[in-house]
A and B are shown apart, each in its own frame.
Chain A
């Protein structure tokens, strides 16, 4: 099977269309970053408190909002996530409500506000950690065990947690759900010390303001170092203009990807930065493959114009470019569709980035080389932006 055989498309002739396309997306992204959604920083970068909660029933957003308000958390954002049937809610507190002194204060307030069916002196089993359950069992000793109590109750407490977290996704509706796995005496003793609220805490992220600023700086630095690394390596392997062309291309990809996040108002988290750095590497791959071919062809076709050589090189590598991009895209798409909530931002960045990165190695990187040579010719210099010293 073969998709592209002997294609002969004049890519360079379409460079003005490419330029217009890239400009529209870059400018739209930049405008959105400046005036619309700005850069939607995730909690890693802006700081704040995120509490992910799973309810045992469909939560009522308005009631939740009212409850938060009455607890004094006026800026809390309440947002459903995942599929609706999962009954999951994200409660998002601003960094201003995340104190440096008592970092987890907001989280404690949220959990206290959500608690239902509270019975004085009893503990919420849906939000009780392992040790609390085990210590309770050790104190009560419902199975009347002697020497091996520690081991037995460790098992029992673990069994309770397994049913709660692995079978029921974090929330128990009634003690009866434990019936088949937990010892009858243990089960009978539970209601004396525990009650069941209607939610379980799924995930908590608290980032203080200081860390946010530090991470922003680090992410920016990492991206810059990455770009500089590419510039140096390509400058060393090819001619410096190749390095410049590749870095401009990758910068273009990064700008459009970040712009897309701003346009879509999707949050940029640490993992999204990881995806962007991966893209810098990936987009460079594509560019290098084309450049390598140009370098090879320049040696073979000394008489021809650079623009013809470039066009020929792009066409020769087109099959590979599309295939690789397609296959990587396939894996990334699987990640986006099946990888779950946690990886959604990460895989979205890759999905966008792989499309842009493939496009740009053809539409941006190669035309820069030709434009540079044309500029040199117009200045009356040696018409060679050609890497004579191929290593």
Chain B
């Protein structure tokens, strides 16, 4: 008996040490302040306690699919022309809702084999079905479609992380959110005015250099009139400024080539700088390959005009005086120094593969965070003391037993959180308090059972034994059901709610150990010191 007890005592003390280490690490000192510091180093406070911004972004993945489909259309046209197969039209019937669908019209029956060859060689991600009147419909394979969309989300996360890192926000969280809805969760601790950060994240930063075919026009209508009502198929109209520095309401429209000479991925570097008039602008440098393409383009178009287009807005129109290899600049009129700095940073971080929309924005001001910590701690101290004191009064010596178990339960819970780098939120603190309230249930179950067995005339040792063995089954059942609830919360919840699910689960797991193993050991120790027939204080 004694040896067995010793062994159990060692297990309990080892657990205590392991989890105390989980909470504090190796403390630098033993004063309250250093301990608190050591603790918050390991258990991180959630956004709702330290203040900051929580954003949910929708990645408009159809954008990425559209890019792919547009590219596929280009390939098809090019290859069919090369093989001298005639067709009347290739286009996306509904780019908004079915971006992965391409319809080829007027392809003669003898061209079918060529089409199949192109598909298997260049566009293996599409399947085709033939319709009436020489029409073929291409659709992206579902698996490839999902892959493409997921890739857009991963890339968007990567790009946004690059940008946020350069802004110097500490410990940001950027991760996929929700269940396959192509959403991203961004948490920015300490940022209580998200305006600028949001603009920077949202900027698609799609840089293109295109040939100018006409303009500036004062309106879209005017442009259409001058072109006789129909735009050339390989050209698009884009808005921009008539004169650099003109106010935003004086928009001008340019007719530019649909195909870009240079794209964002050809960019090697971008830096803020100033033009000859001392106005802030952004200078960019192209990669070797992009530079070569730019050189070919500019040498073929000396005397023509080119447009620097950012996110489908014409920023800069310039005459090509001579062949240019790899330099360019964006000023787009009145840019402030800060804007030039931000824009070059955004360009360096790369383009987003798809547009982004904000779905949810929550800002917790720092004073609310401070208030919440104060309230949470107060509720915790009062709630827990009430339980601890009640147990002492109601169960006397056995109450001490329960209180020791509960305190150990708390230490293990916090230690778990330290090890798993869990985040403590305000509902998480509520979870800690509830763990005490619900954890004490196990003790009550056992103690009531022991009292009952004692009333039925059993000796203290056998009453303790019976009490524990009968209550054990019930305790397992009750814990499992609560943990099932918490697990579902963890899967569906976000942020603060997730924090609650985590503390509740850890707390109840720890409770299995403390209420049964630790409490039993204490009982056995008490019994071993009592003489035969001596009463148990319960």
Contacts and interface: CB of A to CB of B under 8 A. Distances in A.
B248 to A, nearest CB: 16
Interface string B353-389: 0000111111111111011101110111011101100
A211 B448 contact: no
Interface string B411-425: 000000000000000
Interface string A298-318: 000000000000000000110
Nearest to A328: B437
Contacts of B445: 289, 320, 324
Interface residues of A, number: 83
B501 A338 contact: no
A148 interface: no
B501 to A, nearest CB: 7
A296 B435 CA distance: 28
Interface in A276-307: 277-278, 280-282, 284-285, 288-289, 292, 296
Interface stretch (A71-79, A173-181, A341-349): A341-349
Contacts of A219: 492
Contacts of A200: 365, 367
A46 interface: no
Contacts of B358: 103-104, 208
Interface stretch (A89-97, A222-230, A255-263, A374-382): A222-230
A103 B340 CA distance: 25
Contacts, number: 242
A1 interface: yes
A300 B322 CA distance: 102
A170 B190 CA distance: 15
B365 A207 contact: no
Given A281-B482, A324-B444, A221 B434 contact: no
Nearest to A354: B437
Interface in A149-186: 161, 164-166, 169-170
A340 B365 contact: no
A204 interface: yes
A136 B500 CA distance: 40
Nearest to B169: A131
- Among B376, B441, B485, the one with the most A-chain Cβ atoms within 10 Å of its Cβ is B485
Contacts of B494: 270
A230 B484 contact: yes
Contact of B387 (A203, A289, A330): A330
A285 B482 contact: yes
A166 B361 contact: no
A330 B387 CA distance: 7
Interface residues of B, number: 84
Contact of A204 (B362, B395, B481): B362
B452 A316 contact: yes
Contacts of A320: 441, 444-445, 448
A264 interface: no
A233 B480 contact: yes
B108 interface: no
A206 B57 CA distance: 13
A120 to B, nearest CB: 18
Interface string A319-350: 11001100111111111011110110011001
A201 B365 contact: yes
Contacts of A343: 375-376, 379, 426-427, 430
Contact of B362 (A165, A206, A329): A206
Interface of A: 1-2, 5-6, 52, 54, 100-101, 103-104, 127-130, 132, 161, 164-166, 169-170, 200-208, 210-211, 214, 218-219, 221-222, 225-226, 229-230, 233-234, 237, 270-271, 273-274, 277-278, 280-282, 284-285, 288-289, 292, 296, 316-317, 319-320, 323-324, 327-335, 337-340, 342-343, 346-347, 350
Given A288-B478, A320-B445, 4 more contacts: A2-B451, A289-B445, A331-B436, A335-B383
Q: 5 closest A-B pairs (Cβ-Cβ)?
A: A340-B375, A334-B383, A281-B485, A331-B437, A281-B482
